[in-house]
Structure 1
Amino acid sequence: MAKTNQEWWPQLLNVDILDDNARDVSPYGEEFDYAEEFQKLDFEEVKNDIRQVMMDSKDWWPADYGTYGPFFIRMAWHSAGTYRTADGRAGASGGLQRLPPESSWPDNINLDKARRLLQPVKLKYGRKLSWGDLIVLAGNVALETMGFETFGFAGGRDDEFKSNEATVWGPEEEWEETSPERYEDGEVGNLKDPLANTVMGLIYVNPEGPYGEPDVEGSAANIREEFTKMAMNDEETVALIAGGHTFGKVHGADNPEEHLGPEPEAAPIEDQGLGWDQDLDDIGGMITSGIEGPWTDSPIEWDMGYVDNLLDHEWTSVKGPGGAWQWKPVDADSVEDAPGAQDPSESEEPMMLTTDVALKHDDDYRAVLERFQENPDEFQEAFARAWYKLLHRDMGPPERYLGPEVPDETMVWQDPIPDADYEFVGDEEIAELKTELLDSELSRTQLVKTAWASASTYRDSDKRGGANGGRIRLEPQRSWEVNEPEELETVLETLEGIQAAFNDSRDDDVRVSLADLIVLGGNAAVEQAAADAGYDVTVPFEPGRTDATAEQTDAESFEHLEPKVDAFRNYLGSGDYDDMYENPEHRMVDKAELLNLTVPELTVLVGGMRTLGATYQDTDRGVLTEERGTLTNDFFANLLDMQYEWESASEDDELFEVRNRETGEVEWEATRLDLIFGSNARLRATADVYAADDGEEQFVEDFVDAWTKVMRNDRFDLQ
């Protein structure tokens, strides 16, 4: 096979991942509105169809205990459980489990069959029901059929039709490897961002224990780290594991390496997307993980069997029939057997995974287990809430939730934003406020930087962050280094004064939120900067943002939104971080992807922010113009001008000097985040357009469009 550019030149900065933001690869087309289609569903009919599939055993794939319920729970869990807080990527949205690499992960063995069993339901409802919704709804329905009362369900997950190449899964080159490179300083227990799973190709941790050994202490440590990376606390972690393992069994009738065919993406074409071929009759059962057995004596009923078995009995590690480490009861006679999964006249001894026994041997996890054992209703509610969070964590604010089973309660992890109890400003008030902002003691640069700091926290991956809510005035954002806390304090005080004076002066119900005022200030500054360059532009502004409170903000999880590098403000960070990104420009592309930017939008925003002087600590680095604060195309024109030459000014090649070839004088300083627009062929090709003598007007227009896109990324009410 011919090599790609990336294979020929591994060091090449790949900006092609931003092309997915430039076009809609969905076969439904750009006008398709999934939310509108979903509302046409008869939701109860959909659930009935799922129930019918669940109880209708197919000849081509066996159903344990006469139902696919536990199978569908595993499918839903493994779909949603990939979510990670570091970058908000993965999770159930998009139906990514049906696309590589998740479709062929070792942890997802046989889930291709679970999805194929649901194919008739998907075909029946077509565009009205996405795979993203169907996969996790099937898990919810499965719980209900086995006697569990769920907390609710929300639809609204649009399907993806292409794998997200921006998602970094780890440094390993083989499935189920655990490389020291996955951890900071090579130490297990300190995963590099943005990773969450501790093993390549597994959703969470190795069920046998770290490195495949039955080490309960190490397993507990891995569990805590991994679930924390999913924004789950100890109670939620125990509830999810205990609740999920109340149902079903694991399959390890024999050694997977000897009996499983290739994964779906490597299977022969005639298998039509199905993988892991196995002769069930020859093996004498199914193979998934290589671990064999149920957790309880009633694997398709909601009860306290898992918690009681784990706490009330002693367990010892053994190698099971699949050759994997698992745990059996020390006194087998004291543990009630389960019926055979395929033949109820047979029986099977319950087992535990190393990850189960680890919960018992960790003091904090055990305390939660014991509390659940004493209070079954508390266990039920904890699992219901944790399961709901697991399935919906990547969906963003609750206004995106669809369907008749959406709970009335809003949780803090949903980043709630209060409804307005006032009227929003109109054109006359907007003009008045713009004048106030531009006439204030705040500089044009301060207004731009504050608006950018507020809006650019948005992540399209999980719809978190953004300007709505005005959380830049709250912790932790208020204290982020990149936001220059001391200067931000001054800016916020001034803006709050303008807000208070305006709101107090009104005799009617019209008010302005600080969230709206921050964006409006940035817009006004951009308009003035464009006017100084000779261009009359109006930056679109739509009022409607409100201000969230500290009580409505999960400060701990918001810490993950803090940028370690911000190319747009030329912020290189402290440099003492260790993660999966090779250099600052890789982080730049990653951030652009999360902001849903295209290559031209990334390019024009960086160039515009430089000429506006919106740099970290107001340094001159990258401000390649004599007219700082004016929206010109000078950044690109001077970057590409051959009268200048560039040379490194730091050992780490992060800072550079710009010298005049004739005089030898240093005229500017710049960073890697500037030079990449001249060194990378594709970025340079775009910069050429804006650098041209006739390119400045397009530059200004494109900057306004890209700026507006960032300012309103989180305005789901406008989309």
Structure 2
Amino acid sequence: MSSKGMCPVAHGANTEQGDSPAWWPKSLNLDILHQQDAKTNPMGSSYDYRDALRTLDVDALKKDMKALLLDSQDWWPADWGHYGGLMIRMAWHSAGTYRIADGRGGAGTGNQRFAPLNSWPDNVNLDKARRLLWPIKKKYGNQISWADLMILAGTIAYESMGLKIFGFSFGREDIWHPQKEVYWGSEKEWLQKSGGEGSRYSGERDLENPLAAVMMGLIYVNPEGVDGNPDPLKTAQDIRTTFLRMAMNDEETVALTAGGHTVGKSHGNGDAANLGPVPEAADINEQGLGWMNHQTRSIGRDTVSSGIEGAWTTHPTQWDNGYFHLLLNYEWELTKSPAGAWQYAPINIKEEDKPVDVEDATIRCNPMMTDADMAMKMDPEYRKISERFYQDQAYFSETFARAWFKLTHRDMGPKARYFGPDVPKEDLIWQDPVPAGNTQYDIQATKTKILAAGLSSVDMINTAWDSARTYRDSDKRGGANGSRIRLAPQKDWEGNEPERLSAVLAAYETIAKDTGASIADIIVLAGNISIEQAAKAGGFSVQVPFTAGRGDATPEMTDIESFEVLEPLADGYRNWLKQHYVVTPEELLLDRTQLMGLSAVEMVVLIGGMRVLGTNYGGTKHGVFTDREGVLSNDFFVALTDMGYTWKPTGRNSYDVVDRKTEKTKWTATRVDLVLGSNSVLRSYAEVYAQDDNQKKFIDDFVASWTKVMNADLSL
């Protein structure tokens, strides 16, 4: 990646201007760190969703859900009297926004209720699915989140149609405000084609990182073909890229595509121009509903959603192998739906293979296939898998059930976070399994051995930080638990300083054998000890909280390819950039901070503390604004706010801190250091910690923030 290469994070769209006035385009927008403020949550601080889940009658909820699926409403009738297809699409589109690159998106927050997702073109009429679920949500109230309810609805729908599900976990907690930190693309219009300004593609067909969907407003690929131009082989390439970025291999991709299209139908029997505004733009009297058609009948057989019209199978409310039967045994020709969308129609199809009309079982209709479906037949690798699934229905069903479980649970993190009676017993490698750790060892004796190992405080702090900083609150992956910093690929990451790391881990392995503690615990404990000593050197006695019981993962428990996306490309906390990027170092810092689940205040206090502790990557002195390096003090903030200095640029990301009187360089700094003094909000925090009466507050806040990072992957 060159300095003008692909950006590893959310670009300036979320961190430069955002909601700031356009006349301050260089002002760093901290909104990414202020999402989901407690003031937006109507439940209050005393509400604990897991406690509420313990009172949930799961059997009664499932019974009510199955009854709702067959309770067709006049205002939005069910196709063939079964809402299964609609609920599955809602659940799929909730989960399908997940992308592995940054762990954002997905089903874990109920974000589909809010803009922009509630108004995406690909989510047409899913507002009706959520409104149909309201009676159940109203009945069970705080015992079930919207996030869980939407995924449960899709899962129960499959079960009611005959699929043996792999499992289900509760535990997704609702958010109460749109997720502005998620970068959905830089396009200025829905369904913008590739090429031109704002395109998410470069080169021949290189999709911008971290995006997975091919167009703004789609969950994955365009069903009509690349940029709406039918070509199954080109669409296959898009599908492979998109599903890989959703953490799915070819077999899972075919299973999900086929399984998703085994039930339900697409809707395009009408004029899309008659549809009204999306939910976020609709009149107040629509009460949160969008795409309303007040000109024609617009329900039942006359519904318009995607614009594509028809079912994929003969029996769209049954789990069977009908998808492959029709796809592989018939030839298909390109045609258009009544709404004008490209789709494929079967040639010389037998009457008995046609599905019946959604409202009148005496009428039979042509099935259809999309360009994405034809890719399952035309692409050589997808074709092999499709043939195998067609010949072995049981294998297809099991593969799909597992893939559906993965799709709908991928962003929930390790299995320890799962909840409920249907959690599968099997450990799956994509869940990043970690064995239980020992809690019975002598912690004080372990501390003694750590101190006797002869390691520097900087080495111990940096190893603990590098191990824990991989945590992503977006999908609950990474963190110190498992001590995967010992394993490939993490042990070889440039940002982890492999040579230094290897020496530290060798010492920890010996201590682990002698004490019975896990290496994961030792890594964190050693960092804590070093901070306690650094505070003591400054005249403050503190005890850094420690929680024992982390386990050590094995190579067999670690999907190397999956973990590669967690590699940090920058770490402002250790003043390190792997290389220069299009975005600024401070923007990269905000992205990392948000992924770690930290606030702006926690970010500021951690940076100030890490600088004076001397933890910079490679031992550089940028931002080490102290004459007593290694002592945990507020010296960084005192110097940063001292007007006795001037700050002179010396390079793209380097500055001299010059004494006004002597005109000599006292220190050096980076953009990450100086943004804490230049940004008005961050400076207000820095001034708090620079005050003479807040030295103890700085120590306490640093310890609390450090502990939060170390324990992030242990909290439920």
Classify the TM-score, shorter chain. over 0.9
4+ residue segments displaced more than 6 Å: 181-185
Q: Provide closer, same or farther for how the CA distance between residues 636 and 33 of structure 1 changes in structure 2, counting only shifts above 3 A.
A: same
Q: Match of 1:435, as an amino acid?
A: T
Question: What's the CA shift for 1:21?
Answer: 6.2
1:493 aligns with one of 501, 506, 528: 506
Q: Provide closer, same or farther for how the CA distance between residues 280 and 233 of structure 1 changes in structure 2, counting only shifts above 3 A.
A: farther
Question: What's the CA shift for 1:374?
Answer: 1.6
Question: Contact conserved, 1:183 with 1:191, CA < 8 A, in 2?
Answer: no
Give unpaired runs (5+ residues) of structure 1: 504-510
Q: Match of 1:320, as an amino acid?
A: S
Q: Which residue of 2 aligns with 1:401?
A: 418
Write the mapping of 1:8-157 to structure 2, written as runs, cut at 5 A: 8-20=23-35, 23=38, 25-157=40-172
SS, match of residue 210 in structure 1: coil
2:240 aligns with one of 224, 244, 260: 224
Instruction: Between 323-332 and 73-82, report the one with greater CA deviation.
Output: 323-332
Tell me the alpha carbon deviations over residues 625-655 of structure 1, each in whole angstroms, 9 at most, x when there is no partner.
22111111121121222222222222xx222
**Alignment coverage as a number of residue pairs:** 696
Distance (Å, rounded) in 2 between the aligned partners of 1:573 and 1:423? 37
Tell me the alpha carbon deviations over residues 190-219 of structure 1, each in whole angstroms, 9 at most, x when there is no partner.
222221212111111111111111122221
1:207 aligns with one of 205, 223, 243: 223
Question: What's the CA shift for 1:26?
Answer: 2.0
Q: Which residue of 2 aligns with 1:535?
A: 540
Tell me the alpha carbon deviations over residues 195-254 of structure 1, each in whole angstroms, 9 at most, x when there is no partner.
121211111111111111112222111111111111111111110000110011100113
Question: What's the CA shift for 1:569?
Answer: 0.8
Write the mapping of 1:583-598 to structure 2, written as runs, cut at 5 A: 583-598=584-599
Q: Provide closer, same or farther for how the CA distance between residues 344 and 125 of structure 1 changes in structure 2, counting only shifts above 3 A.
A: same
Q: Match of 2:421, as an amino acid?
A: P
Q: Match of 1:304, as an amino acid?
A: N
Write the mapping of 1:198-597 to structure 2, written as runs, cut at 5 A: 198-256=214-272, 258-279=273-294, 281-282=296-297, 285-333=302-350, 336-420=353-437, 422-425=438-441, 429-500=442-513, 502-503=514-515, 511-575=516-580, 582-597=583-598
Q: Provide closer, same or farther for how the CA distance between residues 569 and 335 of structure 1 changes in structure 2, counting only shifts above 3 A.
A: farther
Question: Contact conserved, 1:171 with 1:182, CA < 8 A, in 2?
Answer: yes
Question: Contact conserved, 2:194 with 2:227, CA < 8 A, in 1?
Answer: no
Q: Match of 2:622, as an amino acid?
A: R
Question: What's the CA shift for 1:9?
Answer: 2.1
Distance (Å, rounded) in 2 between the aligned partners of 1:317 and 1:45? 46
Q: Match of 2:145, as an amino acid?
A: S
The reply to whether residue 163 of structure 1 matches residue 178 of structure 2 is: yes
Q: Match of 1:204, as an amino acid?
A: Y
Question: What's the CA shift for 1:666?
Answer: 2.4
SS, match of residue 62 in structure 2: helix
Question: What's the CA shift for 1:660?
Answer: 2.2
Q: CA RMSD in A?
A: 1.8
SS, match of residue 334 in structure 2: strand
SS, match of residue 539 in structure 1: coil
Q: Match of 1:390, as an amino acid?
A: L
Question: What's the CA shift for 1:99?
Answer: 1.2
Q: Match of 1:631, as an amino acid?
A: L
Q: Which residue of 1 aligns with 2:12?
A: none
SS, match of residue 38 in structure 2: coil
Question: Contact conserved, 1:189 with 1:225, CA < 8 A, in 2?
Answer: no
SS, match of residue 628 in structure 2: coil
Question: Contact conserved, 1:146 with 1:300, CA < 8 A, in 2?
Answer: yes
SS, match of residue 576 in structure 2: coil
Q: Match of 2:408, as an amino acid?
A: L
Instruction: Between 596-605 and 666-675, report the one with greater CA deviation.
Output: 666-675
SS, match of residue 570 in structure 2: coil
Question: Contact conserved, 2:250 with 2:382, CA < 8 A, in 1?
Answer: yes
Question: Contact conserved, 1:88 with 1:459, CA < 8 A, in 2?
Answer: yes
SS, match of residue 118 in structure 1: helix
Q: Which residue of 2 aligns with 1:508?
A: none
TM-score relative to the length of structure 1: 0.94
Question: What's the CA shift for 1:19?
Answer: 2.5
Question: Contact conserved, 1:456 with 1:710, CA < 8 A, in 2?
Answer: yes
